[in-house]
Each structure stands twice: as structure tokens, then as C-alpha cells.
Amino acid sequence: MQKIGQIGNDQVEYRKYSTTTILKFFLCSVLGIFMFFLPLTINGKNSIPLDHLVGWIRTTFSSLIVYYILVIVILGALYPFYKKTWNSSLIEAAISFLKVFGAIAAVLVVFNIGPDWLMAEDMGPYWYNALLTPIGVLVPIGAIFLALLVGYGLLEFIGILMQPIMRPFWKTPGRSAVDAVASFVGSYSIGLLITNRIFKEGKYTAKEAAIIATGFSTVSATFMIVVANTLDLMSIWNLYFWTTFFVTFLVTAITVRIWPIRNMSNDYYENKPGDPEQIVSKNRLKHAWNEGLTTAENAKSIWKNIIENVKDGIVMAMGILPTIMSIGLIGLLLVNNTPIFDYLAYIFYPLTYLLQIAEPMLAAKAAVINLIDMFLPSLVILEAPLETRFIIAVLSISAILFFSALIPCILSTEIPINVGQMIVIWFIRTVLTLIIVTPIVYLLL
């Protein structure tokens, strides 16, 4: 039996769905939610099941993983030349040659034949094992469960429920709530994989995809624990976590309303007709149910969806890993062996001084270094006062954009945003974060 009415108003179209469709919606969605969003404690480690699975794979196949990562890095360095995109722009050419440098460095590290500066414990081996390896394993494995999370109706169901929150505050569809949570509890690389997939399906505009990539793609909550441990903030973990959460999303709500994001295109992928989220005003839950089950009914087979997602994940890993290796190493060399960041610190010094942050020059230097990598600022302010450590710990997450990983991740997607725009957004986010978090810290600590 069907009851046909005006969708989104007083009446909703009711449909009878098959048991197979309902089971597909529930089972795929529940398994996806379980893998991405429900932390478990296993062997004393509390994290999401996907992270536990990746950790088990890395431990069980550790010797093979080293060479798997190396193959991905080498293929990633060759890919722009194979696709003949390496000279499509000056930025693309620079990144393509940086990928080649990253691949060479990776080969030297794996076979332990590099120069002393590269083989130092906090240089090549650290970058290869602490950054390349987890991302290189996580992205393709995560892509398997990503197919279940976003391909069988959950995205549409949650999207309609979250419309009243997401659109007024962040000018994104309700379905972007899945991205935001996936990044915060899982990984920015998984969040970007979701964003890129949904953008290519025509469910985000270019502007919406850019907002999500630069505003929601934080490092995971588990990595926030690493920062908090490093800066001796675990005794006030809840205060740190919720302050960071609040500041990050408040800053995003501001940045979407100013240049350059405000002026970005509202076109869909490749200027094709999009599949915009329908605005619903009434009967929200019933309409969400219909949309979710209709998507599950029309979805591709699970195996086909998984294969497609894994392929996207491997291509993304190929784009990310060699760039992380090269830019990360260059950043570490500059931080450890040159005074360049001491000079660049003067960009933020007037602000940190006016805000009366303790050791303002040190805080300003940490803020600048954050553009290179989100963890390096923590190493700069280890001996700083508690307030300064707290402010920089929040800034490390809230600034979001950094060259060692996230910016290359975004560049490896189809999202039309360039390096210059990302640097401007990083600068704005840094300034806003310092202005917002500093009074909060002095009120609460």
C-alpha cells in the first residue's frame, strides 16, 4: 500500500520495501557504525574497531607491510607521469617532483642506506613508521567498511535528521555530519575518502566539499590523546577534548562565511547535474526512513561497491604517501637546522603578545610550525607554562591544515581547492583559534 503526498511537508510517500532491502540497510549500516564509531578496549588499548583491525594487520604482517608501503610510495611517485598530469600546473609539477623525492627517501630508509641525517631516529624512520605506515594501511582497509557506511542508506537517513543543525551553522548538507564524526573519532584520511566519494557522486557541491575538507577533517580523537600525553594534559583530558571540539567547529562556522570559502563554486562534480539533499520541514523521521531504504534498494552490489571503494582508497594512498614523506622530511630539516621558523614566528607574535599568552614568541613559533605538521608544535613547547601548552594543543587540532599529511590528502582528491587557498584558510583558522581559545583557557585553568 502506498500513500502519496508532498514530500517534506505534512504528508510523506509511504512505500513497502522488501525484507532484503531492510536487512541490507540495517546490517550494512550497523557494521559500518560499529567499525568507525564504537570504541572498544582490546589489550589495554581503547580505540575504534577499524583502528584495532589495522593495528592487528600491521603487527601480524609487519615485514610485508614495510614493502607494501614502499610499493605504494613508488607507484604514487610514478602515477602523475603515467597519467601525464605532472605538468598540468606549476603546483602539480612541484608536487610531482616532491613525490619522486619522497619515493627515493623511502627506498633509502627501507634499505637502510641513506645518509646519517636521513637515518636519524627522529627523521626518516620516524616519518616512515609513524605516519606513512598507519595511513597506508588504514585508507585501503577503511575503504572496505566505508562502502557499508555510506553506500546503503545511512548517509541519507542521518543527513535528513541532521539538516536543522548542519545547514544553519556550517552551510553543509545534513549528510556531512557523517564526515565530521568519521574524522573526529576515526581519521582525517577516512573522512576525506568519504568526502571525495560523496562529492564525485554529486551529493556535495565544490563549496560544500571544500568546507568539509578544511573544516571537519581533524586528526582523530585517538591522536589527540598522543598530543595530550606529550604535553602532560591527560589530567584535564575532558576539558581539553571538549574545548578543542567546541573551538574547532566554531572556527569552521566562521570561516564558511568569509573569503575564500564564501566565494567558492556551488557547482557539482565536473559541472554535472547534482543530487542535492532535499530540504525537509516536517515528518523528518519518516522521510529519512524512506530516503535511506530507497538508497539501499537502488545500491550496487556489496562486492562491487567494496571493490570500487578500495580502488579509490589505493589511489588516494598513492597520492598521499610520497608527498607526506618528502614534505615531512623537508619540514623537519627546516625546523631542526634553520632559524626560518624563528623569523616566521613574527607573523603571529603581535597577536600572541596582545592576547598575553605566556612566552608569546614560543607560542607564535609553534603556531607557524603547525602548518608543516600538527605534532611538531607540541615538541616546541614541552617546557612552556600549562596555559600555553593547552592553547597550542587546541590549535594543533583546530587549525586542521598541515603540509605533512592533510594538505597532500586533499590534493589527492577531486575537491577543487588549491594550495594557496588552503594556506589562507589555515592562517584564518590559526588567528581565530588563538583569539577564541585564549580567554577560554584563562577562564577555565
pLDDT in tens, 29-41: 999 888 877 778 8
- Work out the pLDDT band at 428, boundaries 50, 70, 90: very high
Degrees (nearest 5) of the Cα angle 31, 33, 34? 60
**Contact between 213 and 246 (Cβ < 8 Å):** no
* pLDDT tens sequence across 291-319: 889 989 998 888 988 888 888 888 878 98
In angstroms, what CA-CA distances link 375 with 76, 164, 227, 230, 393?
24, 35, 7, 9, 9
Asked if pLDDT for residue 10 goes beyond 80, the answer is no
> Could you tell me how many residues make up the chain?
445
- Work out the pLDDT band at 7, boundaries 50, 70, 90: very low
Q: Which three cell numbers stand for residue 12?
A: 510523506
pLDDT of residue 407: 86
Give me the residues paired with residue 47 across strands: 40
Mean pLDDT value of segment 396-417: 87
pLDDT of residue 390: 97
The backbone torsions φ and ψ at residue 47, rounded to the nearest 5 degrees and listed phi first, read -165, 175
The backbone torsions φ and ψ at residue 46, rounded to the nearest 5 degrees and listed phi first, read -100, 115
* pLDDT tens sequence across 110-122: 999 989 989 988 7
What is the distance between the alpha carbons of residues 268 and 262, in angstroms, rounded to a whole number?
16
Q: In this structure, what DSSP letter does residue 3 have?
A: B
* pLDDT tens sequence across 88-132: 878 788 889 999 999 999 999 999 998 998 998 878 998 898 778
Asked if pLDDT for residue 135 goes beyond 90, the answer is no
* pLDDT tens sequence across 219-248: 766 567 778 877 988 788 888 888 998 999
* pLDDT tens sequence across 140-169: 888 888 788 878 888 788 888 888 999 899
The residue ranking higher by pLDDT, 369 or 223, is: 369
Q: In this structure, what DSSP letter does residue 257 have?
A: T
* pLDDT tens sequence across 43-64: 887 777 887 888 899 899 999 9
